[in-house]
Amino acid sequence: MLDSTYKTNKYRLQLLEFVGNTSTMKMFSIAFAYMMYERQDNVNWALERCHELLHSKDLYPKVVVTDRDNALINAVEKVFPNATTLLCSYHIGQNVREKCYLDCKVKDLKGKDGEEFNHGSVVKTMMAAWMDIVDSETEEAYIDNWNQFKVVYGKFPKFLEYVEKTILDPVKDKVVKFWVDKAIHMGNTTTNRAESAHARLKKYLSSSMGDLSTNWKSVHDMLELQHTTIHASFQTRIIMLEHRFKGKVLWSRLIQNISREDLHHLVEEYNKTLEIGTDKSRCGCLSLITHRLPCARMIALKIKNSSALRLDEIHTHLKRLRFKYEVDPKLYKADTSLLPKWDILKVFF
């Protein structure tokens, strides 16, 4: 997830933050970049530096979620051409809501009983109809929901033109569920986590008037605690085991090798098997596409054959419950502090 935040330093530089999720659903900061302006060349530079940090193609992002910032979108497509770019569905929805408040004036409209419409209720109803469009699981459902939307809000042509020409025509494939669910987004379709990361970072910065030196140390302190929190979440998932998974052949190869969150996701798919069985057309295999986790149909086949779900059927990211230095002690460095490097840099500036 990519998002910019402001008021973090006395130079009024905006801060672009790169945020990811661990297998245990903990946020981690990938990189930070101060930029004078969010110009295309500045954003390209920031993403290119991030690209250099990711020393293996296996670490390159498969999906990037951002707000509707053309500079960010263009930079992602240039630097990570194989990544799918999604737009934050929450912020798109907020934009639609604000446009409705401005353009959908109801003072001259009356219902069948002659009573005037309440503006707030119109906006609330509109947002429900908008969410039906965003949540469309098939192209046919999308067309039906959009046609219904046009009928209901046909009295507001300016608003309809905004929704159609500004959002649906150009970027529906980055917002509407039918198209979004063709990507491995693992449940991340908004930048809300990035904004939470901004809020957490600002608690450490404590002041919007700090210089780069004090901010560097604050970020360093935050990352150390972040590392400790993630490590604790890994250990908890390895050590703790829910009773319902004990002694069950189906889960035997997965327990303590994937996160509890992903086991819970698999349980949801397991619960669908009684209704879906091994019928591929009824399953849709959504879990396999969006999370790279076995879907209800695959689980039903395992149950039928009395076999276990295998680790090679799980996406690599979801099996990461250890840091690399724990797997390979040669990678361990006792001192991971960035402060000595910063002390060297301060000599030159």
Same domain, yes or no: 203 and 157: no
Q: Per mean pLDDT, which range of 79-88, 173-182, 211-220 is the poorest?
A: 211-220
Same domain, yes or no: 70 and 202: yes
Q: What sign does the dihedral 106-111-115-117 (CA atoms) show?
A: negative
Same domain, yes or no: 170 and 30: no
According to the model, what pLDDT value does residue 111 have?
53
Residue 328 CA from chain centroid, whole number: 30
Same domain, yes or no: 199 and 82: yes
Number of domains the chain is built from: 3
One-character DSSP codes across 5-56? E--SSTT--EEEEEEEE-TTS-EEEEEEEEESS--HHHHHHHHHHHHHH--S
* Residue 196 domain boundaries: 2-88+190-231
Q: What is the mean pLDDT of residues 291-297?
A: 96
* pLDDT band per the 50, 70, 90 thresholds, residue 48: very high
* Domain-located, residue 339: no
* Domain-located, residue 273: yes
According to the model, what pLDDT value does residue 333 have?
52
Same domain, yes or no: 81 and 194: yes
Better-scored residue on pLDDT, 256 or 120: 256
Same domain, yes or no: 124 and 105: yes
Same domain, yes or no: 82 and 227: yes
According to the model, what pLDDT value does residue 121 have?
83
According to the model, what pLDDT value does residue 157 have?
93
* Domain-located, residue 328: no
Same domain, yes or no: 297 and 256: yes
* Domain-located, residue 323: no
* Domain-located, residue 24: yes
Task: Please give the mean pLDDT across all residues of the chain.
Answer: 88
Summarised one tens digit per residue, pLDDT across range 125-145 is 999 999 999 999 999 999 999
